[in-house]
């Protein structure tokens, strides 16, 4: 009877995961979607602790189990509460890495468990007693989890500036060679005698970890959102292997959902970044070093005064705001929402143009603006926004750089050539707020800043927006 109740709990948890994921597609319901999925996860965890039996024996070890839950909950809560919105991608990457590490450790523990269970004469091959299906599932979890963990830690270091891009000629061939070593170690371990099996298994883990490091190390610039979503899908697949191992429906469903969602998001990110999925999978997409387009000087820029910018926007019919990482750094989302409400009180139609990879991770700008209660219907996706720019009087760019760079369409020498961008240059006036003329995340100069219709408004985004609000109110 208890097993039936446990199965029912897993089914309910799986349903909550699906419902929660569906709710995440709507920012207005996203918070509740997180709560629904979290409730399902809590149900699955406690049902496993108290209802699971193996040979008539319950789990036990409650002190270790609840000790781990309490410690992890405290660390996670404190980290989430203290993290700044600009550091959110780093936290997501690091927490994702913890999921990969967990999946790898599960595979290692299960490998040892089955090794002890099937252990026979020390001179017979492991393959003679170990079912190949179980072995492949264990090894897949160990490899994918290790790659996800190592890659996520490197991504975390690169996002916060602790780790610099590192690439050399022939690195991609070396990555492929390391991956072949991983597979060779997996085959060798399965064919090894019991007395020799631990060494190839440990080598497998080492090579998988090394591949994760080398896979992410050369990636830089505007490509980072792609690797975050890809590593997220890796963690989901690794978790799903654990579900197969333990015949755990909730773990299997959760892993499949994360893996599928991460893979689909990766494909969308590749499209948005003009990168092929094949290049992503072999770790061969661009770093942050500027090409020829990033080195050329294009002349002087035209600056606009605060009062002139206020006049242009206050008397416009339509204003489009393009948020970027500079908005997040300045924590200016609330000031931006205040400017939006003030302009609308004067009869100005205000909308936001959201590029899918603006910021440092997918959805970064959506989360940022939702925090300041910007209505979701005001957020236009790239395709929608590009249809509106031709009839827009003023585009206000707040810290965005690469996602509005016309070189992506006009300069084949540019490292971002072919990347879909926001066609802000079609508007009548473009006002760009930046702290300086420093290049964006891709490390290249922006041709937009030197266009005749573009004016630069230098300064911290939050202060500039607050000053604009004051200027418009005094008009």
443: confidence class by pLDDT, cuts 50, 70, 90? low
Pairing outcome for strands 318-323 and 349-354: parallel
Decide if pLDDT at 282 tops 80: no
**What is the average pLDDT across 91-115?**
89
Average pLDDT, the chain: 85
Q: How confident is the model at residue 285 (pLDDT cuts 50, 70, 90)?
A: very low
Could you tell me which of 418, 272, 424, 277 has the C-alpha nearest to residue 359?
Answer: 272
**So what's the pLDDT on residue 286?**
42
- DSSP 8-class letter at 423: -
Enumerate residues 6+ apart whose C-beta is below 8 A from 115.
Answer: 126, 194, 197
pLDDT of 279 reads 64
Tell me which of 150-154, 269-273, 315-319 is least confident.
269-273
* Burial class of residue 78, CB neighbours in 10 A (0-12, 13-18, 19+): exposed
pLDDT of residue 367: 78
The pLDDT of residue 328: 83
User: Could you state, in order of their start, the residue ranges of all structural domains in the chain?
Assistant: 1-82, 86-289, 299-473
Q: SS3 of 170, please?
A: coil
> With bands split at pLDDT 50, 70 and 90, how would you rate the model's confidence at 293?
very low
Q: Which helix (H) or strand (E) is 191 found in, with range?
A: helix 171-191
Q: Is the pLDDT confidence value at 295 over 50?
A: no
**Strand pairing class (57-58; 53-54):** antiparallel
* Residues whose CB is less than 8 angstroms from the CB of residue 9 and which lie 6 or more positions away in sequence, other chains included: 43, 44, 47, 51, 250
pLDDT for 220: 65
Confidence label for 441 from pLDDT (cuts 50, 70 and 90):
low
Domain covering 299-473 in this structure, CATH number: 3.40.50.1220
The SS3 assignment for 318 reads strand
pLDDT value at 297 more than 70: no
Residue pair 93/156 in contact by the 8 Å Cβ criterion: yes
Least confident of 36-40, 217-221, 392-396, 416-420: 217-221
pLDDT of residue 334: 92
Residues known to be catalytic: 402
Q: How far from the centroid of its chain's Cα atoms is residue 174's Cα? A: 26
Distance CA 222, CA 329 (A): 17
Radius of gyration for the chain, computed over Cα atoms and rounded to the nearest angstrom: 26
For the segment 2-12, the average pLDDT, to the nearest whole number, is 82
pTM comes to: 0.79
Q: How confident is the model at residue 235 (pLDDT cuts 50, 70, 90)?
A: very high
Q: What is the pLDDT of residue 283?
A: 47
The larger pLDDT score, comparing residue 464 to residue 328, is at 464
Percent helix, percent strand, percent coil in the chain, to nearest 5: 65, 10, 25
As a whole number, mean pLDDT of residues 213-235 equals: 81
> Which tokens in the block code for residue 289?
């070093």
Q: Quick one: DSSP state of residue 160? A: T
**Residue 163's pLDDT is what?**
83
pLDDT, tens digit (0-9, with 9 covering 90-100), for 334-369 = 999 999 999 999 999 999 999 887 776 777 788 788
pLDDT at residue 2 in the model: 47
- How far is it, in rounded angstroms, from Cα 207 to Cα 142? 11
Q: What is the pLDDT of residue 345?
A: 94
């Amino acid at each position: 009877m208890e097993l039936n109740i446990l199965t029912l709990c897993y089914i309910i948890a799986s349903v909550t995961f699906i419902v929660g994921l569906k709710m995440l597609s709507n920012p207005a319901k996203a918070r509740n979607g997180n709560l629904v999925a979290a409730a399902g996860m809590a149900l699955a965890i406690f049902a496993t602790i108290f209802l699971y039996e193996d040979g008539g024996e319950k789990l036990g070890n409650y002190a270790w189990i609840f000790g781990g839950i309490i410690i992890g909950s405290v660390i996670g809560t404190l980290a989430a509460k203290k993290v700044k919105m600009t550091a959110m991608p780093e936290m997501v990457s690091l927490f994702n890495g913890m999921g990969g590490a967990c999946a790898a450790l599960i595979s290692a523990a299960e490998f040892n468990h089955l090794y002890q269970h099937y252990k026979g004469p020390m001179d017979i091959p492991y393959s003679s007693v170990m079912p190949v299906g179980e072995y492949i599932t264990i090894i897949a979890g160990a490899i994918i989890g290790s790659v996800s963990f190592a890659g996520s830690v490197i991504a975390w270091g690169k996002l916060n500036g602790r780790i610099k891009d590192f690439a050399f000629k022939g690195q991609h061939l070396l990555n492929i060679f390391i991956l072949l070593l991983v597979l060779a170690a997996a085959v060798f371990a399965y064919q090894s005698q019991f007395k020799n099996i631990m060494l190839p298994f440990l080598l497998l883990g080492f090579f998988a970890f090394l591949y994760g490091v080398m896979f992410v190390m050369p990636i830089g610039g505007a490509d980072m959102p792609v690797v975050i979503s890809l590593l997220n899908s890796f963690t989901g697949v690794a978790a799903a292997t654990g579900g197969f191992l333990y015949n755990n429906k909730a773990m299997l469903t959760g892993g499949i959902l994360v893996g599928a969602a991460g893979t689909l998001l990766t494909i969308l990110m590749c499209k948005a970044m003009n990168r092929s999925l094949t290049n992503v999978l072999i770790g061969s997409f661009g770093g942050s070093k500027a090409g020829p387009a990033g080195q050329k000087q294009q002349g002087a820029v035209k600056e606009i005064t605060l009062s002139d910018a206020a006049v242009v926007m206050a008397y416009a019919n339509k204003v489009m705001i393009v948020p970027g990482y500079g908005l997040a750094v300045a924590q200016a989302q609330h000031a931006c929402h205040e400017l939006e409400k003030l302009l609308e009180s004067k009869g100005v139609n205000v909308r936001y143009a959201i590029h899918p990879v603006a910021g440092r991770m997918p959805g970064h700008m959506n989360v940022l603006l939702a925090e300041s209660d910007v209505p979701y219907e005001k957020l236009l996706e790239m395709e929608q926004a590009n249809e509106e720019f031709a009839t827009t009087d003023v585009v206000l760019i707040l810290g965005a750089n690469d996602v509005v760079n016309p070189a992506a369409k006009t300069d084949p020498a540019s490292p971002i050539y072919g990347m879909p961008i926001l066609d802000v240059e079609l508007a009548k006036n473009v006002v760009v707020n930046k702290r300086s003329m420093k290049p964006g995340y891709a490390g290249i100069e922006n041709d937009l800043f030197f266009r005749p219709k573009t004016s630069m408004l230098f300064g911290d985004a939050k202060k500039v927006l607050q000053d604009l609000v004051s200027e418009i109110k005094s008009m």
